[in-house]
Structure 1
Amino acid sequence: MQCDTGKHCVFYHGYQIVWSTKYCYKVLSGALRLRVRDICRQVCTENRVSLLRGVLSSDHVHMFVSVPPKLAISDLVCKMKGRSSCRAQREFPAIRRRYRGCRFRGRAYFSTTNGAVTEDIVLQYLENHIADPTGASR
């Protein structure tokens, strides 16, 4: 565990975040998967969030992040989901046509801190998820 510093604080807020595509459609593949991954990284960089590990499967995004105390986790997820959905639909018109203008992402997300589970267990799970033959990418 490595702590970060702000102007007046030292912190480590580890969150596990998971969200799925709308109706669990398996659309995150190929170039779209890489683009969504890049967008999530950009949002994390802009908001000073440390992306410790992330996995994109064909139907969901799963990441482990360290978030500064001034940023609400709901705001971070909203930015990532909104920006990735908007840009993906703009850059990949087949998604918009296939889902009739609907966002390709679902509205809900899952978030938990790593208080009950150690960081090593979360990172080990994500490593095993990468090795799973479902087509996950880093």
Structure 2
Amino acid sequence: MSQSTRREVFDNDMLMSCEEIMRDVCQSFNAELREFNGEGDHVHLLVHYPPKIALSKLVNSLKSVSSRYRRAEYTGRINQIGTGAVFWSPSYSAGSCGGPPRSIVKDYIDNQKRPA
């Protein structure tokens, strides 16, 4: 199985905890996590952040801090699934939502198939 293959690691409890961690990280950047949801193998965030913040630094912090906390709190589950040394994929997708109304982006995030 290649390293880039997604693994179903998240359950609802992990996603709730991950949201809390990511909300704290955003606050430390003077950013606001406006929407959060996820599926078994990824998360979606709608973040309002100041233009002076480099998006890559924010994403790096979101991934590294949440990975550290996820591994500490859910070691058995993560090891059982076999994510290896890497919790998050090294890539991410980011887009600006200046075009569509925020409600459309919010609906998209809210309608993810969140695991039970």
- TM-score norm. by structure 1 comes to 0.70
Which residue matches 1:66? 48
Listed as ranges, the matches of 1:93-104 within 5 Å are 93-94=75-76, 95-96=78-79, 98-99=81-82, 101-104=84-87
Unpaired stretches in structure 2, ≥5 consecutive residues: none
Match of 2:61 in 1: 79
Q: Which amino acid aligns with 2:57?
A: D
Contiguous gaps of at least 5 residues in structure 1: 1-21
**Match of residue 110, structure 1, among 87, 93, 110:** 93
Choose from 96, 102, 119 the match for 2:102. Answer: 119
Partner of 2:38: 56
Give the partner amino acid of 2:22: C
Structure label with greater radius of gyration: 1
Count residues in correspondence.
112
Tell me which amino acid in the other structure corresponds to 1:79. S
Higher strand share: 1
| Moved >4 Å (runs of 4+) | none
CA RMSD of aligned residues (A): 2.1
- Percentage of pairs with the same residue: 27
**Contact 1:54–1:64, Cα closer than 8 Å, also in 2:** yes
Q: Which amino acid counterpart does residue 53 of structure 1 have in structure 2?
A: E
Query: Aligned in 2, Cα 1:117/1:97: closer, same or farther, shift over 3 Å?
Result: same
